[in-house]
Chains A and B, each alone.
Chain A
Amino acid sequence: MELMVKAEGVHKSFGRLEVLKGITLELKPGEVMCMLGPSGSGKSTFLRCINHLEKIDAGRLYVDGTLVGYRQQGDKIYELRESEVAKERAQIGMVFQRFNLFPHMNVLHNVIEAPTRVQGIRREEAVQKARTLLDRVGLADKIDAYPAQLSGGQQQRVAIARALAMEPKLMLFDEPTSALDPELVGDVLDAMRQLAREGMTMVVVTHEIGFAREAGDTLVFMDEGVVVESGDPREVLSNPKHERTQAFLSKVL
């Protein structure tokens, strides 16, 4: 079976600071991978490399068998044109820590913007789909609201619906609950759990240990730009092998 995400020795530097020092990992379709680690460990940067929001400096990164952001000819790799990168990104959904809804559009327009503009889907069809998706995340009654009129939890669920409207084959979550008040985290995690149950392939950068344990198929622990430990979440969480994992878990659990 083709892998959904395959990283081979991915490197990334910001100036002289090396943030990713050779990340190698694999994710099968339908699986949920949770990435854990102290801040500055490079997990968010790696996530942003998967849809080419950050360019990698070395290594290979494939999504669904295709090189991300580059084209290989013989031994050489060439950066893709902007429109080609956009096409790749259209198939990968992303949810951000700070929601990043479009504040000048109401909820409905946030959700139908990309399907109508990027995929060229008919407006009525996009609206129909948006209603279904918003209903699924429990926000059918907020369809006319502007983002500023919603709570953080509601905004994040709209952001999830917005990403799903593109019918992505892979969903990336960049600390989706970190900016939320504690009592609002549950609704967002519920929406993500439901998505996982429906078989969506997901990469989730998170500090929610509980979510990683229940919903994750693999857990990756990163520190200082490398994968320290990975495997079955229950196994890693209850029986961490590496001392850095043990140290981190002893602080957060």
Chain B
Amino acid sequence: MGRWIAAAIVLFVAAALIYSFATNSRVQWGVVGDYLFDARVLRGVRATLELTVVAMAIGIVLGVILAVMRLSPNPIVKSASWLYIWFFRGTPVLLQILFWGIGISALYPKISIGIPFGGPVIASGNANHIITLFVAAILGLGLNEGAYMAEIVRAGIISVDEGQHEAAHSLGMTRLQTMRRIVLPQAMRVIIPPTGNETISMLKTTSLVSVIAYTELLYAVQLIYSVNFKTIPLLIVAALWYLFFTTILSIGQYYIERHYARGSSRDLPPTPLQRLRWAALARREWN
């Protein structure tokens, strides 16, 4: 009985909220519809997706490298990784984005490739041309993400039974072979769920690069409403797009997790689609 009352209260409150929001004329749902597929908004969506994909790719690659370094028996390699994580986790990502977007060209107006410590220069260029807004945004987001992914990957590696390392070593596999073929694939089961969270989080964190005037989704709608003052409808447009992609990512994460759960349990639970199909089949047999 108590369950029904609780459910009724929750449903009532939810319905009231949705009703008041949906019928609020100041939301201007018509305007939301007008701008949802506006070319400028769609370009912003594309930029947000590009940033998410590239920054996460950099973050994951860096994370794996840093995690393996962190677990290395070599003390210098180990401390280098520790230092990186300490720095990039210890400062706000917004600050890092500002640094790459604005600070770096003030600090190093010219960027050169060559032998360091005053050796010959092979190539050089203006920092503002090399570090475009996109590169600055990617550096800010990706390098920061690397530090977080390193900790996630490290937790995954540690979760794999010591016996797996020993079995691989006793077969003559080197440390790197053991990592790549035996340990990391098993660590995936622990690494994937938080990486999914990181990706979803990254999709939204990309909005921070609006501070260096890179036109991703949020900055795109800001540019529009700074002209027409339709602030609320345009923020809703952006919110709807973020929600759409986080939903897609959550579904993707579910299937990837299933894939890496192989071998850990005898039978995997059915996916929602399979359940639906079986239910439909069962009903047909019933009749």
Contacts and interface: CB of A to CB of B under 8 A. Distances in A.
Interface of A: 51, 53, 82-83, 86-87, 89-94, 96, 98, 100-105, 113-114, 117-119, 146-149, 159, 162-163, 166, 172
Contacts of A92: 170
B174 A86 contact: yes
A195 B166 CA distance: 23
8 contacts: A51-B170, A86-B173, A96-B163, A101-B167, A103-B264, A113-B181, A118-B172, A147-B263
Contacts of A86: 169, 172-174
Given A53-B169, A104-B186, A113-B181, 8 more contacts: A86-B173, A90-B171, A94-B170, A96-B163, A102-B168, A113-B171, A117-B181, A148-B266
B142 to A, nearest CB: 29
B173 A117 contact: yes
Interface residues of B, number: 23
A148 B262 CA distance: 10
Contact of B163 (A51, A89, A100, A149): A100
A149 B268 CA distance: 13
A136 B1 CA distance: 63
Given A103-B263, A148-B263, A96 B167 contact: yes
Contacts of B193: none
Contact of B164 (A51, A93, A102, A172): A102
A89 B175 CA distance: 13
Nearest to B173: A118
Contacts of B182: 102
B259 to A, nearest CB: 11
A159 B169 CA distance: 14
Contact of A118 (B166, B177, B264): B177
Q: Is the interface of B mostly helix, strand, loop or mixed?
A: helix
Contacts of B173: 86, 114, 117-118
Interface of B: 161, 163-164, 166-175, 177, 181-182, 185-186, 262-266
B174 A82 contact: yes
B170 A104 contact: no
A104 B174 contact: no
Given A82-B175, A103-B264, A148-B264, A53 B181 contact: no
Of B166, B171, B266, chain A has the most CB atoms within 10 Å of the CB of B171
A92 B164 CA distance: 17
B171 A166 contact: yes
B19 to A, nearest CB: 50
Nearest to A102: B182
B47 to A, nearest CB: 37
A86 B173 CA distance: 6
A113 to B, nearest CB: 7
B167 A93 contact: no
A143 B13 CA distance: 57
A52 to B, nearest CB: 9
B275 to A, nearest CB: 23
A148 B263 CA distance: 6
A172 B166 CA distance: 13
Contacts of B263: 103-105, 146-148
B265 A148 contact: yes
B161 to A, nearest CB: 8
B227 to A, nearest CB: 55
A244 to B, nearest CB: 30
Contacts of A87: 172
A241 B61 CA distance: 62
Contacts of B175: 82
Contacts of A113: 171, 181
Contacts of A147: 263
A238 B181 CA distance: 48
